[in-house]
């Protein structure tokens, strides 16, 4: 099986799509007619999405995708392009939805819609465990810091992050200037940090849950200081389809209310980050 595509047949068709047919937007019409949901996420972002030992996509985001598609009674197909491509929007019918740990910001909100929040987790600074000098964000002046290319972490280091979400607390910037090292894959970024501070990079910014996952698996890392900011993570869709947005919000709301998201969070994270 192609590792970049996962196809799941979900037999229990629910009447959800049929009830919204009257004034459906382009995305909703496409999903309704094809009975397929084309989703997009990252391949290397454990425990949210990653390839398991059977070379299949697995993780919290993957399971949320499965639950979402099951509610709609459609087949699920997942693709894993680069984060930069996902976050750029203007998908031109390649994908219908991103349940992929995306934080709304000013730039993304111009090309993507964000119908529903499904979890929240802090962004943190990660150091090599041999680095005893770095104690927090105020210590990163002049350092080379690795981030996922196109991520909110990259915007943060460039002091341009404006989180576009209700009630969001905007981050502060207790540093003067850093060298940003963007990576196509967080796997590679963590591998370079594992070589030691000052080898290829000095530090890294990631999600707290992801950082803990890599540390638990023997990574030579430590989380430094307090969280940099809280990341509200929302479901993203291409811009402009109000009917599809409404259905996405309704479905995610139902997954919140019936405990599905809480259960999946406890399964993959060990605590409920969906509240």
pLDDT digits (tens, 9 = 90+) for 106-117: 999 999 999 999
Whether 110 and 129 map to the same domain: the answer is no
Which residue bears the tokens 């690795």? 146
Task: Give the CATH number for residue 71.
Answer: 3.40.190.10
Give the 3-state secondary structure of the chain.
CCCCCEEECCCCCCCCCHHHCCCCCHHHHHHHHHCEEEEECCCCECCCEEECCCCCEECHHHHHHHHHHHHHCCEEEEECCCHHHHHCCCCCCCCCEEEEEECCECCHHHCEEEEEEEEEEEEEEEEECCCCCCCCHHHCCCCEEEEECCCHHHHHHCCCCCECCCCCCCCCCCCCCCEEEEECCHHHHHHHHHCCCCCCCCEEEEEHHHHHHHHHCCCCEEEEEEEEEEEEEEEEEECCCHHHHHHHHHHHHHHHHCCHHHHHHHHHHCCCCCC
pLDDT of residue 25: 79
Residue 195, pLDDT above cutoff 60: yes
275 belongs to a structural domain? no
Whether 112 and 237 map to the same domain: the answer is yes
Give yes or no for a contact between 168 and 109, defined as CB atoms under 8 angstroms apart: no
1 belongs to a structural domain? no
Tens digits of residue pLDDT in 27-50:
999 999 999 999 999 999 999 999
Cis peptide bond N-terminal to 47, omega within 30: yes
Residue 273, pLDDT above cutoff 70: yes
Whether 30 and 114 map to the same domain: the answer is yes
45 belongs to a structural domain? yes
157 belongs to a structural domain? yes
If we measure between CA atoms, which residue out of 113, 115, 121, 117 comes closest to residue 45?
121
Tens digits of residue pLDDT in 146-178:
999 999 999 999 999 999 999 999 999 999 999
In this prediction, residues 11-35 reach a mean pLDDT of 63
Q: Residue 20 — very low, low, confident or very high, per pLDDT cuts 50/70/90?
A: very low
CA–CA separation, 65 and 57 (whole Å): 11
Instruction: Give the chain's mean pLDDT.
Output: 92
Residue 79, pLDDT above cutoff 90: yes
Min mean pLDDT across 15-24, 76-85, 230-239 is at 15-24
**Which residue range is the domain that position 201 belongs to?**
121-231
Whether 130 and 224 map to the same domain: the answer is yes
pLDDT of residue 13: 39
Whether 185 and 115 map to the same domain: the answer is no
249 belongs to a structural domain? yes
In this prediction, residues 245-267 reach a mean pLDDT of 98
In this prediction, residues 259-269 reach a mean pLDDT of 98
Whether 202 and 129 map to the same domain: the answer is yes
Residue 11, pLDDT above cutoff 60: no
Q: How many domains does the chain have?
A: 2
pLDDT of residue 275: 87
Whether 208 and 255 map to the same domain: the answer is no
38 belongs to a structural domain? yes
Q: Which two tokens stand for residue 39?
A: 């989703």
Whether 163 and 74 map to the same domain: the answer is no
If we measure between CA atoms, which residue out of 149, 195, 154 comes closest to residue 44?
149
Whether 250 and 261 map to the same domain: the answer is yes
Whether 185 and 160 map to the same domain: the answer is yes
Whether 17 and 55 map to the same domain: the answer is yes
């Amino acid at each position: 099986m192609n590792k970049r595509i996962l196809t799941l047949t979900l037999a229990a068709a629910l009447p959800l799509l049929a009830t919204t047919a009257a004034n459906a937007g382009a995305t909703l019409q496409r999903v309704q007619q094809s009975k397929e949901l084309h989703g997009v996420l990252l391949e290397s972002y454990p425990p949210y999405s990653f390839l398991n030992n059977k070379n299949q996509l697995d993780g919290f985001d993957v399971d949320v995708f499965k639950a979402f598609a099951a509610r709609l009674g459609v087949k699920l197909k997942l693709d894993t392009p680069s984060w930069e491509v996902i976050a750029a929007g203007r998908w031109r019918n390649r994908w219908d939805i991103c349940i992929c740990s995306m934080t709304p910001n000013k730039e993304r909100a111009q090309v993507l819609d964000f119908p529903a929040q499904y979890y929240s987790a802090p962004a943190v600074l990660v150091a090599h465990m041999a680095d005893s000098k770095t104690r927090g964000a105020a210590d990163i002046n002049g350092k080379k810091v690795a981030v996922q290319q196109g991520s909110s972490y990259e915007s943060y280091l460039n002091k341009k992050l404006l989180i576009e979400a209700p009630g969001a607390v905007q981050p502060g910037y207790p540093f003067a200037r850093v060298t940003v090292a963007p990576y196509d894959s967080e796997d590679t970024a963590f591998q370079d940090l594992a070589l030691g501070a000052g080898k290829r990079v000095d530090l890294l910014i990631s999600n707290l849950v992801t950082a803990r996952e890599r540390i638990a698996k023997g990574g030579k890392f430590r989380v430094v200081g307090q969280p940099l900011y809280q990341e509200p993570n929302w479901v993203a869709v291409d811009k402009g389809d109000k009917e599809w947005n409404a259905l996405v919000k309704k479905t995610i709301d139902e997954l919140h209310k019936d405990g599905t998201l809480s259960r999946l969070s406890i399964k993959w994270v060990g605590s409920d980050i969906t509240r």
